[in-house]
Structure 1
Amino acid sequence: MKKYLSILPVFLFLLTLGSCKKDYLDTTPSDQIDADKIFDNITNVKVALNGVYRAMYMQYSDQEQDGHPAIMITMDYMGEDIVHTATGTSYFRGAYRWVDHRSELNDLPYFAYRLYYRIIANANIILEGIDRVPDATEAQKNVIKGECLAIRGWAHFMSVQLFGKRYDAEALLNDPTGENSPLVTLGVPVVTKYSLDPQPRNTVAEVYDQVNKDLDDAIVLLNGAAPARGIYRTHIDQSVAKGIKARVALTQQNWVDAAKFALEAVQGYQLMSNASYLDGFSDMKNSEWMWGAHQLPDQLPAYGSFYAYMSSNFNSSHTRSNPKKINIDLYNSLSNTDIRKKLFCDNVDDFVNFPGVIDASTGQPVPSQVRAKYMHKKFVVADPAVSAGDIPYMRAAEMYLIAAEAKARQGLNAEALDILEPLAKNRDPNFVRPANSEGLLTNQYSLIMRQRRAELWGEGFRFLDLKRQNVALDRASSTSGHTGTLANWIGRAAGGAFWQFLIPRRELQANPYMIQNPPN
């Protein structure tokens, strides 16, 4: 029997929920349960749901496949704001050079496609079985349904952004028939039921319709549920579902909904202090974290993990030989009193503020490490011997930025500044609101985009931001820090085939309904 990537996800249960002993509840990790016992009681369902969340950050086949955090790294490496200082190891190099995602045979498209559809399939299995759990109340079922629908909507959203064309609302307005709109081009399969049958690709518009339906239903079902605002914010609550909805609306150029849901999502969260901003971004107890992964040391793969590639202090061959730095033009656009500027090194001999990679046996900087001006210390692990840390999926700051951008794109500049000012002033006490509110979004260094790029550096947004705005990749500045031999693509025009991941060859060969996008 042929195996299709679009339905292979079910076998993830064998990885995260695998078989176990009779006393499994006492002897196995919190994300493992016998597959045939999942729906025996509500406790087992919750354990299974924990497994779905873990599937978001577990390692799949190799070091570049640490779940969604690996896609976050890829999204930023494919932008212009993270600069590689040296050739370093081979990991993620092909993504940085804009090569891997355009090969049907490369592991990157295969991994990305498989990742999100495994998550979708597992969410579908829980959705289809939750109503037969004997001891579950309606309220308990609704929370789990809400989380699974939000997960399914989020995973479809991530997948269509990668494998589909940019959502272009303006093109649809100018062409109501849709004949020339990218929205009628193929996106990814919409999978709302677990099935062993192969699935064809739906249009971009159809995928977004399903994404919005799932999120709308999730928001209703999660209404009244206890917010996931304890120490570990690993599960989706209503605020996070609204935050995902705000992201989707921003991508669809639905400015009204983007602002609305972002402002609703951020209610109850507090922006972190400047002191907290320098704490290393690896602890979700931070006041403005909304959603993230809590990765324990015993869950780490032998090699790899988000912090093995993105931390400044873990002693991996990747970080030791190739520290990541900020685009110098972006760095120079920040005020000297902006706390975000302090995340980047302005003096390579400053070992006090920028110790870099640490030898865990001595607690001292590794002498052989590469050091570079503008290298970062945003992501720092608590123990330099262990590449474990909490991974940020969503923070309150992003909601301020979404709402401000959405207001400005409606021409409501004063309202946009009202929203942006608290964030900007929190990060820079000397921030002065511009007297002239025009030009907030005129280019990628204008106020709102500069704030967004600096704030979300390294958190997995840049490629998707360029794509949704239909803005060219521009690494060509003489001062940006990118070099032609390493970065490969110094510039890439907006639009066109290079902004889409190719459907992996293994799916094309196995699935008779799957069609590759034609080159253009």
Structure 2
Amino acid sequence: MKLNFKTICFGALAACTFTACDLDTAPTTSLDADAVYKNTENADRVMRGVWNYIFNSGSTYASIGYGAIMMNDDFAGSDVVRTTSYGYSSSYNLTNGYGRGEINDVMWDMVYDPINNCNAVLANIDNIEGEQTEKDRIKGQAYATRGFLYMLLASHYSFAIDKDPNAVCVPIYTEPTSYDMAVTGKPASSVSEVYAQALADLKAGYDLIPTDYNRGSNATDQYKIDHTVVAGLLARTSLYAREWQEAYNYADEAMNLKNRYLMNETEYKSGFNNALNQEWMWGYSCTIDDNLPAYNFHFKDSTTPGSGYSCLNVDPYFKELFDDNDYRKGMFFWGPNAGYGEWTMLSSKFKFADVDNMLADIVMMRVAEMYLIKAEAAAHLPGKTSEAQSLLKELRDARMKPGYTAAEITATGDDLLKEIWLERRKELWGEGFALTDIIRNQQPVERKAWQHFVECTYNEHEDGSVTDKTPIVTETGDVIFADDKDEAYQSKYCVILQGHSTVKLPDGTDFVPNSKYYLFRITEQEELQNLNLYNDHPKLDIYR
């Protein structure tokens, strides 16, 4: 395992030369372009290094690459309760992005350094040695990677595109950055312009990546962007950009390319740790020699002995959103988390594949997401309400216990959209969509305090003292409330279990739509160094 956290100057990307898993190699900007981009094999290595950096860069154990960004977004949402162990307290309290905490700084470097290397690949790929089909594939993957990264920026550094299409977002770079450009910087573009760039890049990748390109059956190659992945990214980005017809079309294509496959109960409960899962469209796999991204499971896995922090836990109210015959409901239950032993509502969704060797794969896209994108897009398109209802029911049916089906869906209009959004929360819990959905749908975070006395087993001694109090958990993973008992009984025989501990914004006010605390904020270093940052679009008043 390589623990190699460091600050990298803008425009200089380590890990993108010839050893895909080594963060100590020289940056491409320090080498002659003719040496780096001699042939397609070397250009392909650069792209492998780009993705290695996206998943391995960071400054602490709680900020390792894109996996940490996804966890930040779930901790900042409505349905994850953070226990008191190490990691993600500022994410849970919503002081990270706006307050320019560590995740915010990591995100900026994690995105812009790979963008610069994608730009270098695109600038050189046409003039290198190699077969044209390989050039097209690598070029397409560079475009698609850059488009994915601009989508991340657009969805985090600005409010929803339909709130203010011209609101300032972030700078767009489409050429390799020289030293002078890195020092002076480019003006920030609007959120509409950043989404347009993301979509243009993804469409270029869609056109260039051969439809018959096969990344193979090795788990460690499943991060590579093939035609199915780029179609899925176009669906996701079109949804965020409110391009309903394109979101519908690309989601339909992507889910059909995977034969509309949805996991069965056994697969769903296997730990979300295997990039070769049939429903996974895109995932990042670790090896013993390159297992740093799997460190994120020390925060996500709350049930495997040996998991370190186990702070990604469940809002008790969230469990009640599931139908009793939905097998996902049984994956949430009370118990002591594997890390600090704190009693909380646990989730068995994420489990190490091999905790001793710190191995687990990270999911980035699934067929279920395509169902939800297509359903949401259909709900916005004329004449497709019944199709949206059918898609939602098909997904819900797949999550029911054997012999049961989901209730018919009759909601229409805004009520139907709310059902689809709720299903996104349930199906994609812990997979990094919570904060993005709150921002793009202009919703508030929803958290209510949950605190109850519960019945326990215990040891009562001759002197009347009680020790070893342990909450009683029923077969369904529930606890037995003792709120109706008198204060003396509660104090002696019961313990208090809690849900959310943070139920207000950092300034003490209630959660509201479009709060500045939901946004990532342009880094202070960028504001100080980029003299042109706000030339085209003014700084948001909320940051003045």
TM-score interval for Structure 1 and Structure 2 normalised by the shorter chain: 0.7 to 0.9
- 1:344 matched to 2:338? The reply is no
* Correspondences of 1:439-458 after superposition (within 5 Å): 439=412, 441-442=414-415, 446-458=418-430
Residue 156 of structure 1 aligns with which residue? 150
Residue 272 of structure 1 aligns with which residue? 263
Q: Taking structure 1 as reference, are residues 32 and 265 closer, same or farther at Cα in structure 2, changes over 3 Å only?
A: farther
Residue 540 of structure 2 aligns with which residue? 517
Higher strand share: 2
RMSD: 2.8
* Offset of residue 76 of structure 1: 0.4
Residue 176 of structure 1 aligns with which residue? none
Q: Name which of 111, 120, 123 aligns with 1:128.
A: 123
Once the two structures are superposed, residues 143-191 of structure 1 have per-residue CA deviations (whole angstroms, 9 ceiling, x without a partner) of 11111101001101101211122210xx6xxxxxxxxxx1112111111
* Offset of residue 59 of structure 1: 3.1
- 1:44 matched to 2:33? The reply is no
* Correspondences of 1:201-280 after superposition (within 5 Å): 201-228=188-215, 230-232=217-219, 233-269=222-258, 270-280=261-271
* Offset of residue 315 of structure 1: 2.8
* Offset of residue 224 of structure 1: 2.5
Residue 52 of structure 2 aligns with which residue? 54
Residue 467 of structure 2 aligns with which residue? none
Q: Which moved more, 1:430-439 or 1:125-134?
A: 430-439
* Offset of residue 137 of structure 1: 1.3
State the AA in 2 paired with 1:342. G
Would you say the 8 A contact 1:228–1:237 is kept in 2?
A: yes
Would you say the 8 A contact 2:297–2:307 is kept in 1?
A: no
Q: Name which of 503, 507, 518 aligns with 2:526.
A: 507
State the AA in 1 paired with 2:542. P
Residue 298 of structure 2 aligns with which residue? 308
Residue 109 of structure 1 aligns with which residue? 104
Query: What secondary structure, in the 3-state scheme, does the structure 2 residue paired with 1:298 have?
Result: coil
Would you say the 8 A contact 2:68–2:296 is kept in 1?
A: yes
Once the two structures are superposed, residues 400-423 of structure 1 have per-residue CA deviations (whole angstroms, 9 ceiling, x without a partner) of 111111112336221012222332
Q: Taking structure 1 as reference, are residues 9 and 296 closer, same or farther at Cα in structure 2, changes over 3 Å only?
A: farther
Residue 405 of structure 1 aligns with which residue? 376
Q: Which moved more, 1:75-84 or 1:433-442?
A: 433-442
Q: Taking structure 1 as reference, are residues 436 and 275 closer, same or farther at Cα in structure 2, changes over 3 Å only?
A: closer
> Aligned partners of 2:24, 2:246: CA distance in 1, in Å?
35
Once the two structures are superposed, residues 262-310 of structure 1 have per-residue CA deviations (whole angstroms, 9 ceiling, x without a partner) of 1101123222221111110011110011111112232244x98221211
* Correspondences of 1:311-330 after superposition (within 5 Å): 311-312=301-302, 313=304, 315-319=306-310, 322=311, 324-330=312-318
**TM-score normalised per structure 1:** 0.83
> Aligned partners of 2:114, 2:359: CA distance in 1, in Å?
22
* Offset of residue 64 of structure 1: 2.6
Query: What secondary structure, in the 3-state scheme, does the structure 1 residue paired with 2:81 have?
Result: strand
Residue 17 of structure 1 aligns with which residue? 17
Residue 71 of structure 2 aligns with which residue? 73
> Aligned partners of 1:344, 1:297: CA distance in 2, in Å?
30
Gaps of 5+ in 2: 1-7, 452-497
Q: Taking structure 1 as reference, are residues 435 and 501 closer, same or farther at Cα in structure 2, changes over 3 Å only?
A: closer
> Aligned partners of 1:394, 1:490: CA distance in 2, in Å?
35
State the AA in 2 paired with 1:311. D
* Offset of residue 448 of structure 1: 2.0
> Aligned partners of 2:369, 2:22: CA distance in 1, in Å?
33
* Offset of residue 344 of structure 1: 1.3
Residue 436 of structure 2 aligns with which residue? 464
State the AA in 2 paired with 1:455. E
Gaps of 5+ in 1: 1-6, 19-23, 172-181, 350-355, 358-365
Residue 476 of structure 2 aligns with which residue? none
Q: Taking structure 1 as reference, are residues 159 and 226 closer, same or farther at Cα in structure 2, changes over 3 Å only?
A: same
- 1:495 matched to 2:514? The reply is yes
* Offset of residue 52 of structure 1: 0.9
State the AA in 2 paired with 1:289. W
Would you say the 8 A contact 2:95–2:517 is kept in 1?
A: no
**TM-score normalised per structure 2:** 0.79
Would you say the 8 A contact 1:127–1:148 is kept in 2?
A: yes
- 1:96 matched to 2:92? The reply is yes
> Aligned partners of 2:315, 2:448: CA distance in 1, in Å?
11
* Offset of residue 490 of structure 1: 8.3
Q: Which has the larger radius of gyration?
A: 2
Q: Taking structure 1 as reference, are residues 266 and 115 closer, same or farther at Cα in structure 2, changes over 3 Å only?
A: same
Once the two structures are superposed, residues 445-497 of structure 1 have per-residue CA deviations (whole angstroms, 9 ceiling, x without a partner) of x5322321111110000010011111111112657921248996784210143
Once the two structures are superposed, residues 409-445 of structure 1 have per-residue CA deviations (whole angstroms, 9 ceiling, x without a partner) of 336221012222332211114554544522475288x
> Aligned partners of 1:337, 1:438: CA distance in 2, in Å?
21
> Aligned partners of 1:436, 1:377: CA distance in 2, in Å?
28
> Aligned partners of 1:192, 1:99: CA distance in 2, in Å?
31
> Aligned partners of 2:97, 2:295: CA distance in 1, in Å?
20
Query: What secondary structure, in the 3-state scheme, does the structure 2 residue paired with 1:83 have?
Result: strand
Query: What secondary structure, in the 3-state scheme, does the structure 2 residue paired with 1:147 have?
Result: helix
Once the two structures are superposed, residues 44-72 of structure 1 have per-residue CA deviations (whole angstroms, 9 ceiling, x without a partner) of 22222111111121032222321111100
